Structure 1
Amino acid sequence: MFERDFENDAEGRRERLRFWLTIGLGAILTGVVVALVLLLSRANDNYDRSLGWQAHSLEVISQTRSLDAALARSEAALGRFAVGLQKEDGRVYQHQWGVSQQYLTLLQRNVRDNPKQAELVGKLTAELKARGDQLGDAALSANYRQTVAAISKYNAAGHDAALIRIDRLLSELIRNERTILAERNRLAASDRASLNQAILLFSLLGAAAAVIAIAATVSLVRAESERRAARRETLFEADRAMLLSAAVEERTVELARANDALRSEMNERETAEAQLRQAQKMEAVGQLTGGIAHDFNNMLAVVVGGLELAQRLVVSAPEKAQRHMNNAMDGANRAADLTRRLLAFARSEPARPEMVLVDECIAGFGELIERTIGDRIALTLDLKAEGLSCWVDRQQFENALLNLAVNARDAMDGHGSLTIRTLRDDEDQAAALAVQVIDTGCGMSPEVLERVFDPFYTTKPAGQGTGLGMSQVFAFCRQSDGEVQISSTEGEGTSVAMLLPVAKPEQHHASASEADGDPGEAAPADTLSILVVEDDKRVLIATVDAVEELGHKAVACANPLEAETLVERHGGFDLILSDVLMPELTGPEMVAQLKQRWPELSVLFVTGYAGDASEIAAFGDHDVLRKPFTLTALDQAIRRSGDARPEGQRLAS
């Protein structure tokens, strides 16, 4: 019995030992498992964070490149706007500039945690603000259709050192972010290795824990432990596989986006380079100014030399003096004609449209074209628009024809055939008259054809062309509400077609008939009292003498601020003859002040620059005389203004 009790006590001690051993092993196993789970969770979090930083760096690089591309597109659209004055190009410029500002805002937010990058973005913001003001000035000039001013400002902006600074800032941003990205890639690889090590350690310790559990517990506990361990391992592997699959999928999407961004950047870079080449043509403005200075010096030599000789011979040889004065007048008229051509090209000189029978005009102008192109080129007039008229500026139309004929002559090297054909084009709803100039010259390559209407672009040798001929043709067609089309094949020839809207009879309004009055008509029967307002003393003296030569009484006013005082002192005037652009007060502003007291004021404006539509609107319904003018033109303008004045009405204080 004693031995049984002893065996029972020993068995009890063994049971208690196994119990506490099982509890201890279970606690140790639990602690090990908890520690491994925490280690694995931390390694997984570190890896996810590394992936997030990689995506952040790629996003910063992509936004920087998108900002660069948006800037290039906006400046290219502004260049097109400055040349063509198309409102759609202006809207594209504003939209692309707004897109660049959006990308700049994203960059400011994404680099705020990096002081170095944030400082670069701050400098870039300041540069872009100054750049926006500079480009906005050019866009404003283009919006007011001041082509020369817009092109000049855009050309100056294209050579500004700010472009180099902006490019350097963008390049430095991308370079710094790539350095950060390389470091983050290294950390991500390290975190992934740590995660793999944690998984391996977890597996090894889990297996060891399972062996200890098997050795320490009964078969039932052992089987249950194995089942639970297997279940945990399966779940963990499934979760890990799911996490890795999601990470791989996310990274694949990011890499695909980065690849698309790089491809888009390459395309945008090519486009930007083409736009840069387009902007470089503005440098040819210097060539134009040199040619204009040369032409004006020749004309002024004729004028100055002729007048000086006339002064010496006016008493001793009146006939020779008269011949020299005629030569001087011819030189002055040529200078005025050149000025009108330049203003027409800049779209600052409004067209003077009239009803023109196109076939008759071309037939009458054909002799001059034939003399210009030479005897070795056969000129054919194929006119099939008999009786059709267009509402165009006759002089600009003839200049456009002459420019096309000269270009065709140069393309044929002085030998070939030139055909001028007219026909009615009814393909569109609005009937148009097509004037085609067809040559058998060398033709144009696709590269030349793409830039043929660019201002100052020419394929002729230096000194033989300014590059304005085709641009003037383009400007004439646009001013006439038409369009120009061109087709060319190398080695076969070129065809240029000006499509002009067919005029309706009712378009020939009364103003045209008034402008065509007979210059030989007699002056008004009444002598008018005229106040002449002009800030240039020489022009003022000449205008006063011209008015008095026509039999009127003239009072000179060299300052528009004194006009109201002179009106009161002389008891009123029949007509105010005023310059437009004057210091302190312009002509329209002076007239507006005078009309507050004298609403029935008769006014005749005299100007050498018409300006854009907004400035023309400031003239109101008053007549406008263009400088330089002849005595006949001045007489007709004064007579029209006098006839428009109510009978018996005189400006009185």
Structure 2
Amino acid sequence: MTDRDDITGRLTGAWRTITLSVMALAGAIVLALLVVTLAEVNNKRDRALASQRHSYDVMILARTVQGTIAHAEASLGRYVISGDQQLGQVYYDDWRRAKQAISRLAKLVRDNDVQLTHVATLQEAFRTRGDELALTALSTNYGKNSQALSRFYQARQSDALTRINDSLDGIITDERLLLEMRTTQARASVRRSTTIAKVLAVFGVLLVGGGITMGWIMVEALADRAIARAEAESERLRADELADAVARATEELRAQEARLRQVQKMEAVGQLTGGIAHDFNNMLAVVLNGVELAARHLPPGAGEAARHLEGARDGAERAAALTARLLAFARETAINPEPIAAATLFDGLSDLLTRALGDGMTLVLEDDSAGWCARVDRVQLENTLVNLAVNARDAMDGRGTLTIRAGHTIVSGGADPDRPGGEFVTLSVADTGCGIAPDVLDRVFEPFFTTKPLGKGTGLGLSQTFAFARQIGGEVTIASRVGEGTIVTLLLPRDRRGEATARPPAQPALLAPTIPATAARAILVVEDDARVLSSTMEALADLGHHPVACEDATQVGAVLATMERVDLILSDVLMPSLTGPEMIANLPLAFAQVPVLFVTGFAGEANGGIALGDHPVLRKPFTLAALDRAVAAAAARGDDPAPLAAE
């Protein structure tokens, strides 16, 4: 070998070495690029999956908000119709959960300006809708069901709910479009990366042969397996979320079913109580009329019989008072303001409080009111005091001393228009219980706020007390120290006119009061209960009138046609064939102007929404004196159409 050949061989070897080195370097570069490309594919796939999960979370949460708001409004509607406080609590809880879900939704879309705009609109509409529904809930809480129902239907026409739904639909639509765009981009990126990888793989095959080809195939298989595994995991997560949602919905459905059964049971109890009270009032009307008629016909010197009749009358009046409480329980007693002094209030309330508090409690009643009166509804005031007493008993765990003290005070007018000055009768309920912490004391009058365990209280007791006091122009205050007890004080506006016209205590010996003679009137009596009809006929006849009986409201026209004249129609309200107002509305034109006096054992809601117009109403049971006054006042309306107060 010559030097030239040697040099050529060396150059060839060097060239081969360089070529091999370049090929090895190229192979390493290709391998590195291949690894980087695969890593980028995996990263893009992971980002795409994360974007998909994020979009699904946003859409699911938006639907959750929409469903929760719809459920809350449905609960509020049932609360407005039924007045059930548990439904009000359901509305309050659902609305709070919807607010929390909207906050989570805002966090999820904080990196998307378009979605943030939708969320801002949603939050503003949600606050507006909450204010509208809060007025409806507050009206229901204060017992203004007609106003609450009107506001609820007005709220249904509000554009706030439309804006809420439009915002949620916009969020879902934009997120779906964003999901589709991201998916399309991810697929295009994966296809582009896959193409590059294939080119590199082909180039690698040319460089390193079949080994690199096999490696690429294995890598491709591993990548496909990873994608399939990620997709399977995503599907499993979605299936788990769906199962959890179904479980929660099933649990909520069961809870709603239980609440519905409780509401139906309470409605049935209320209807049953009202029906019993109605029948009992009819029987009491017969008893009282019979006792008074018997007393009016006692011969002189029959003192023993008079005492027995007085005892029967007293028992009937006590039964009438109990019936009034049953009607109040059934929400069938109309508001009836009257002047009430502390002495008479305590006399009628002591037995009820003693039974409500139990044997472990000591009840102390103190009257320092100096005879001042307040004009309030007796049933509302008694229920308020009973609620406060029961709260105090719970604070003392059923053992302790409860003091109810009546007093009087003069409050000077201040700058606060909600706290007017004047003379007030005070009723304070003081206990020796555990007291209320300062951070809780500021919230005790809030609706639905309670510190009692779930199912032990509605959180409406003190808020109803606050509403009652403000309704009559008064005030309620509360003072408490932890470990020393609590004092709740009602300030009721003084009624001087009621003090001046207050009747003296009834004398037990006066069984049959003297009834002034009145003009004899021809009266048509319409009553489906034969015993009540007979008793009323005898009472009217004893008062000097000329009653004519009619047991069937559909036959009133025929009976009127047989009467020479008619000065008054005295009718029951609820009868099997026709109600009293329906019967009056169907009278012949010749008798359309005859005065009407309705007699009923029901009041308020018990009439089932029956409109009595401006006709006077006499409540069962009634005394002869009350019947005589009601007949005279009703007959006088034929000449004077001005409305008169019912007995």
Normalised to the residue count of structure 2, the TM-score between the two structures is: 0.50
Normalised to the residue count of structure 1, the TM-score between the two structures is: 0.50
